[in-house]
Structure 1
Amino acid sequence: MKPVSKRVKDLRSSGIRKYFDLASMEEGIVSLGVGEPDFATPYRIRDMGLRAIELNYTHYTANSGLLELRESVSKKLEKENGIQAPPENILITSGSSEGLDLVMRALLDAGDEILVPEPCYVAYQPLASLAGGMPVMVPTYENDEFRISMDELEGKVTKKTKALIICSPNNPTGAVLPKKDLEGISDFAIKNDLFVISDEIYEKIIYGERHYSIASLPEMAERTITLNGFSKAYAATGWRVGYLTAPSGIIGGLHKIHQYNTLCAPAPSQYAMLRAFEEEESVSAMVKEYDRRRKLLVRGLDELPGISCPLPKGAFYAFPNITGTKMGSGEFAEFMIKNAKVALVPGHVFGESGEGHVRCSYSVSAEDISEALGRMKKVLR
Structure 2
Amino acid sequence: MTALRGQFPGLDDSQKGRPYVYLDSAATAQKHISVIERMDHFLRHEYGTVHRGLYRRSAIATQLYEEARNTVAAFFNAQGQNIVFTMGATDAINLVAWSWGRSHLRPGDRILVSAMEHHANIVPWQLISEITGAELIACPMDGQGNLDMESFNRLLDERVKMVSCIHIANSLGTINPVAEITRAAHAVGARVLIDAAQSAPHMPIDVIALDCDFLVCSAHKLYGPTGIGCLYGKSDVLESMPPWRGGGEMIEKVTFEKTTYASPPGRFEAGTPPIVEAIGFATACDFLNSIGMERIAKREAELYAQAEAMLSDIPSITRIGTAKARSTVLSFTMHGAHPADISQILDAQNIAIRAGHHCAQPTMAHFGIPATARISLGVYTSEEDLQLSTEALRKADNLFN
- Could you state the TM-score of these two structures normalised by the residue count of structure 1? 0.69
Map of 1:207-246 to 2, 5 A cutoff?
Answer: 211=204, 213=206, 215-217=208-210, 220-221=211-212, 224-233=213-222, 235-238=223-226, 240-246=227-233
Distance 2:80 2:189 in 1: 26
Map of 1:290-309 to 2, 5 A cutoff?
Answer: 294-295=304-305, 297-309=307-319
RMSD: 3.9
Query: 1:97: Cα distance to partner?
Result: 2.1
**Equivalent position of 1:355 in the other structure:** 368
Whether the 8 Å CA contact 1:116–1:165 is kept in 2: the answer is yes
Query: 1:117: Cα distance to partner?
Result: 0.8
**Equivalent position of 1:319 in the other structure:** 331
Map of 1:63-102 to 2, 5 A cutoff?
Answer: 66-78=65-77, 85-102=78-95
SS of the residue corresponding to residue 263 of structure 1 reads coil
Quick one: which amino acid aligns to residue 276 of structure 1? Answer: A
SS of the residue corresponding to residue 172 of structure 1 reads coil
**Equivalent position of 1:376 in the other structure:** 396
Whether the 8 Å CA contact 1:94–1:265 is kept in 2: the answer is no
Map of 1:83-122 to 2, 5 A cutoff?
Answer: 85-109=78-102, 111=107, 112-122=109-119
Identical residues among aligned pairs (%): 13
**Equivalent position of 1:20 in the other structure:** none
Quick one: which amino acid aligns to residue 339 of structure 2? Answer: A
Quick one: which amino acid aligns to residue 47 of structure 1? Answer: E
**Equivalent position of 1:129 in the other structure:** 126
Question: Relative to 1, partners in 2 of residues 1:271 and 1:173: Cα closer, same or farther, differing over 3 Å?
Answer: same
Question: Relative to 1, partners in 2 of residues 1:68 and 1:338: Cα closer, same or farther, differing over 3 Å?
Answer: closer
Question: Relative to 1, partners in 2 of residues 1:275 and 1:214: Cα closer, same or farther, differing over 3 Å?
Answer: closer
Q: Does 1:36 align with 2:27?
A: yes
Choose from 266, 270, 281 the match for 1:273: 281
Q: Report how many residues are paired.
A: 324
Provide, for residues 112-132 of structure 1, a one-character-per-residue CA deviation record: whole Å limited to 9, x for no partner. Answer: 432111222122111211223
Provide, for residues 181-236 of structure 1, a one-character-per-residue CA deviation record: whole Å limited to 9, x for no partner. Answer: 44532332123211110122333544xxx65556524xx35xx1111343223x22
SS of the residue corresponding to residue 220 of structure 2 reads coil
Distance 2:171 2:38 in 1: 32
Where in structure 1 are there 5+ consecutive unaligned residues?
Answer: 1-29, 79-84
Question: Relative to 1, partners in 2 of residues 1:184 and 1:149: Cα closer, same or farther, differing over 3 Å?
Answer: farther
Distance 1:315 1:259 in 2: 39
SS of the residue corresponding to residue 243 of structure 1 reads strand
- Could you state the TM-score of these two structures normalised by the residue count of structure 2? 0.66
Choose from 43, 49, 73 the match for 1:59: 49
Q: Does 1:256 align with 2:257?
A: no
Query: 1:162: Cα distance to partner?
Result: 1.6
SS of the residue corresponding to residue 108 of structure 1 reads helix
SS of the residue corresponding to residue 244 of structure 2 reads helix
Question: Relative to 1, partners in 2 of residues 1:157 and 1:311: Cα closer, same or farther, differing over 3 Å?
Answer: closer
Query: 1:256: Cα distance to partner?
Result: 1.7
Query: 1:163: Cα distance to partner?
Result: 0.8
Question: Relative to 1, partners in 2 of residues 1:295 and 1:61: Cα closer, same or farther, differing over 3 Å?
Answer: farther
Distance 2:38 2:242 in 1: 27
Whether the 8 Å CA contact 1:108–1:131 is kept in 2: the answer is yes
Query: 1:258: Cα distance to partner?
Result: 4.9
Q: Does 1:189 align with 2:185?
A: yes
Provide, for residues 239-290 of structure 1, a one-character-per-residue CA deviation record: whole Å limited to 9, x for no partner. Answer: x221222122332466722555863541111123343333134677987886
Provide, for residues 135-183 of structure 1, a one-character-per-residue CA deviation record: whole Å limited to 9, x for no partner. Answer: 312111244xx34333211333455422111222331221224xxx445
Where in structure 2 are there 5+ consecutive unaligned residues?
Answer: 1-20, 53-61, 248-268, 348-352
Question: Relative to 1, partners in 2 of residues 1:157 and 1:300: Cα closer, same or farther, differing over 3 Å?
Answer: same
Provide, for residues 342-372 of structure 1, a one-character-per-residue CA deviation record: whole Å limited to 9, x for no partner. Answer: 8622476143434357251235854772364
Query: 1:42: Cα distance to partner?
Result: 1.8
